[in-house]
Amino acid sequence: MSDTPPRRLGAVFYPGWEMLDTCGPLEMLGNMPGIVEIVTVAQQAGPVRSAQGPEVVATYGFDNCPPLDLLLIPGGMSSRIEVENPVMIEWLRRRVPQAELTMTVCTGTALLARTGLLDGYRATTNKMFFGEVADASPNVRWVKEARWVEDGPFVTSSGVSAGIDMALAVVARLAGVEFSEQLAVATEYEWHRDANWDPFARIHGLV
Amino acid sequence: MSDTPPRRLGAVFYPGWEMLDTCGPLEMLGNMPGIVEIVTVAQQAGPVRSAQGPEVVATYGFDNCPPLDLLLIPGGMSSRIEVENPVMIEWLRRRVPQAELTMTVCTGTALLARTGLLDGYRATTNKMFFGEVADASPNVRWVKEARWVEDGPFVTSSGVSAGIDMALAVVARLAGVEFSEQLAVATEYEWHRDANWDPFARIHGLV
C-alpha cells in the first residue's frame, strides 16, 4: 500500500503501431499495481490496428485524454506517416511538458524529436533507421551506441526490443532495482541492465 | 511472392491475457508478410482486457472462427480460470488437431495440456508455476530445463519472454533460419537460439 495514487501512464497508439514496441514496456510497467496504471490513447478513441494486424482499443481520444504522468510513444514504419501528422505532433507538444517522464521506443523517438522538445537532450532511436531520424532533428544530441538513454524527463530507447530493457530501468526508478530484478525473473526475461549494451549499433555500421 | 497462400495464425485471447506472452511472438510471426497472417479469436468476439489493462479486439468468436493453420495460446495468472472453462477447453480440443502447429507460451501450456492432446509429448511451461501445471497433467512428458520444446505438432515455451525465442524458432521453421536472424536484428532482439538455454529453471529451483 502506497500513500500516493498510482501514476497514470498513457500509451499512445496510431495506425500501424509496432506490437512489441508498446507491449514489451507495458508488460513491465503494467505489472506495478498501485504504482502505475495504464490508459490507452489515440487521435480518435476506438480500435487502432497494429503493423502485425491485431487491434488495440484506445480508451481515450486526444480530445478527452485525462492528465498523464507518464507517456509511452512507440515506433514502427508508420511513424514516418505520424511525424507528418500535425494533430499528433501538436498533441505531443502540449502533453509531453505536462508529464513527469516521456518514454519512446524505436522510431517513436522521431515523433518526440519532431515536437522540438527533445532539442539539446541526449537521445537514441532505432539503429537501422538512425541516420534518417537523426538528420530530421539535428538539434537533438543523438547517441549512436546505447540500448536506451535517460536525460531529464526523457527516456529514449533503441529499436523494438530495447523498450523492454528501458522499461525495466524506469521500473527501477519508480520502485527500486530489486523490484525490476524480480519482475525480470518472473517474466523470464534476461534484462540487459547496461544502458550502453548495444551490439546493434555495430551491426548497423554506426560505430 | 510465394505460390502457397499464407498460413492463418489464430492468436487466442481471454480476459487477463498476459501482454508479452502474446505480443512478443506476434511481433515476430506478424512480420512474415505473405507467409503468416494473424487473426484474433476469443470465446466471444470484441474487446478482451489484458492483465496489464489494454484491450485487444478479438475479430472472431469461437463460434465463427475460420480454419487455423497455426494456433498461439498465451498464459498468465488468469489461465488458472481458463483451465476450468469448459468452453475454452472444448474449443481447443476440437481446433488444435486441425492445426499444423500449436504454440503455447508460459502457463498457456496448461490450457493445451488440459485438453489431453499433449499427453505423451515433451513440453515445458513457466518455471515459477511449473509444479502446479505439471501436477495437473501428469501424462505430459514435462521438461524442466528448456526455453522451449518442439515435439510433433506442438511448440511449448517457458514463461512470458520465452515466447519470443520460441517464435523465432518457428519463423526459422517456416521461412529459414536466415530470415529469423534478420528479424532478430531488425527488432534489435538478442535471440536465445538454444532451446536448452534456461537460467530460470535453476533460479526457480527446478534443477
**Is the separation of the CB atoms in A173 and A6 below 8 Å?**
no
Q: Does B77 touch chain A (CB under 8 A)?
A: no
pLDDT at A151 (0 to 100):
98
CA distance linking residue A193 with residue A177, whole number of Å: 10
* Cell numbers at A57, concatenated: 482499443
Residue A63 pLDDT > 60: yes
Distance CA A73, CA A67 (A): 16
User: Amino acid identity of B166?
Assistant: M
Q: What is the pLDDT of residue A4?
A: 82
Give the predicted TM-score (pTM) of the model. Answer: 0.96
Query: Which one, of B49, B59, B41, B30, lies nearest residue B163 by Cα?
Result: B30
Whole-angstrom distance, CA of residue A203 vs CA of residue B182 = 11
Contact B120, B147 (CB under 8 A): no
* CB-closest option in A26, A51, A188 to B54: A26
Tell me the C-alpha distance between A8 and A38, whole Å: 6
Which residues are registered as beta bridge partners of A60? Answer: A41
Residue B11: its chain A contacts at CB < 8 A?
Answer: 54
Q: Residue A100: its pLDDT value, please?
A: 98
Measured on CA atoms in the order B116, B129, B44, A76, is the torsion positive or negative? negative
Residues 6 or more apart in contact with residue A122 via CB below 8 angstroms: A141, A142, A143, A149, A151
A52 contacts B27? CB cut-off 8 A: yes
Which of B38, B126, B189 is nearest residue A160 as measured by Cβ atoms?
B189
- Continuous H helices in chain B: 19-29, 79-82, 86-95, 108-114, 130-136, 162-175, 177-186, 199-203
The answer to whether the CB atoms of B161 and A187 lie below 8 A apart is: yes
Q: What is the pLDDT of residues A112-122, one digit of tens each?
A: 999 999 999 99
For residue range A10-23, list pLDDT tens digits in order.
999 999 999 999 99
A2 has pLDDT over 90: no
Complex confidence, ipTM: 0.95
The answer to whether B127 contacts A188, with C-beta atoms less than 8 Å apart, is yes
Tens digits of residue pLDDT in B189-207: 999 999 999 999 999 999 9
Q: Is B132 helix (H, G, I), strand (E, B) or coil?
A: helix
| Residue B23 near residue B38 (C-beta atoms within 8 A) | no
User: What would the pLDDT profile of A152-181 be if each residue is shown by its tens digit?
Assistant: 999 999 999 999 999 999 999 999 999 999
pLDDT computed for residue B2 by the predictor: 54
pLDDT single digits (tens) A79-104: 999 999 999 999 999 999 999 999 99
Average pLDDT over every residue of B69-87 = 97
